Amino acid sequence: MDLRQLESFVTVANLGGMSRAAVHLQMAQPSVSRQIALLEKELGQRLLERHGRGVQLTEAGRVLAGHARQMLEQSRRARDELQDLGARVAGRCVVGLPPRLALAHAPALVMAFRERFPGAAITVLEALSVSLRESLIAGHMDLALLFDPAPTPLLRY
């Protein structure tokens, strides 16, 4: 039993026919039928009752369909999680905030950052805008929210 067979089976079960499933899966209808036949042979059970207007699940088919849907969903989750691992942001971010903003927004900022970037660290520095600006220019922090900063070509606003 493999994921391709399960995907074919679940699609046939959902759509009620081999031809509709083949179109949905972008496969030839005989290929879909073959996947189902291999699955039935391996399990030693008839999974579908074929009739002129499509197919119906047997009792064994209903049992397998429930498990197969869960297995396919778990497979998708695993694939997504592994792809996310490769795209994870890591490192350190230093953010400067004036005292009033730090008091009101730092906890929510830190929580949101950690949730979005679990592999990265955040440090929030609290200081007056003049000090924060100097720290930014010196490269001691990555970003800051400043009140009425004096323009300088050394920073992006």
On whether the CB atoms of residues 93 and 109 are closer than 8 A, the answer is: no
Fold of 3-86: Arc Repressor Mutant, subunit A (1.10.10)
Domain 88-144 is in which class?
alpha beta
- Give CA 155 to chain center in angstroms: 35
Share of the chain above pLDDT 70, in %: 97
Per-residue confidence (pLDDT) for residue 86, from 0 to 100: 60
Domains in the chain: boundaries: 3-86, 88-144
Report CA dihedral (122, 125, 129, 130) to the nearest 10 degrees: -110
User: In terms of Cα–Cα distance, which of 121, 123, 116, 141 is closest to 131?
Assistant: 141
Quote the pLDDT of residue 87: 66
**pLDDT tens, 41-99?**
999 999 999 988 889 999 999 999 999 999 999 999 999 888 877 667 778 999 999 99
Q: Which tokens go with 41? A: 């042979």
Q: What is the pTM of this model?
A: 0.56
Cα torsion at 9, 27, 30, 51 (round to 10°)? Answer: 50
Evaluate if residue 6 carries a pLDDT over 70: yes
Q: Model confidence at 116, in pLDDT bands (50, 70, 90)?
A: confident
* Average pLDDT of the residues in 24-51: 96
All residues at 6 or more sequence positions from 55 whose CB lies less than 8 Å from its CB, including other chains: 12, 13, 16, 17, 18, 48, 49
DSSP 156: -
What's the pLDDT score for residue 124?
A: 96
**Type and span of the H or E element at 122:** strand 120-126
Place of tokens 């805008």: 129
Q: What is the dihedral of CA 33, 38, 39, 44, to 10 degrees?
A: 120
Tokens of 22: 């083949």
